[in-house]
Amino acid sequence: MKIATIISFIGIITMSFVLNTSPSEDIVKAFKASNTSEISSYFDNLIDEIKNVSKNQAAVILKSFYSDNKITGFELTSQREAGTTMYIAGKITSKVKNYNITILLKNKEGKYVITSIRING
């Protein structure tokens, strides 16, 4: 009986760690894998409200940037959360050049969505 209880407890603890991955972890994994489709799935309906870029346009632009620049990876340099806003900063790596990236996420209806991406070379 004790063994069954211990095994159940370990299972519950393990599941809680698996289920509690933050949205930033998933987004960072997508950037590290250079998976533009996965990254785009986190886009809000409108990216960069100043330039009025739609979710679909932003996905095409990001995919083109990754392809044209032969992006190979991502390194997280900073991350912080303030209220319903989250910032992720990092470096995108390619065979030729590295780029700084800043990602702004906002919590909308209980889900974090990417509302802005800035890439500087």
pTM attached to this predicted model: 0.77
pLDDT confidence of residue 13: 42
The CA distance from 13 to 79, in Å, is 26
pLDDT at 16 over 60: no
Q: What burial class does residue 88 get, using C-beta atoms within 10 Å of its C-beta: 0-12 exposed, 13-18 middle, 19+ buried?
A: buried
Which residue ranges form the domains of the chain, and what is each CATH number?
A: 22-120 (3.10.450.50)
pLDDT value at position 18? 40
The model's pLDDT over 22-80, given as tens digits with 9 standing for 90+, comes to 667 899 999 999 999 999 999 999 887 667 889 999 999 999 999 999 999 999 999 99
For residue 108 the two structure tokens come to: 């909308």
Running DSSP on this structure, what letter comes out for residue 95?
S
Q: Which residues pair with 34 in a beta bridge?
A: none
Instruction: Provide Rg for the chain, Cα atoms.
Output: 18
Better pLDDT: 33 or 12: 33
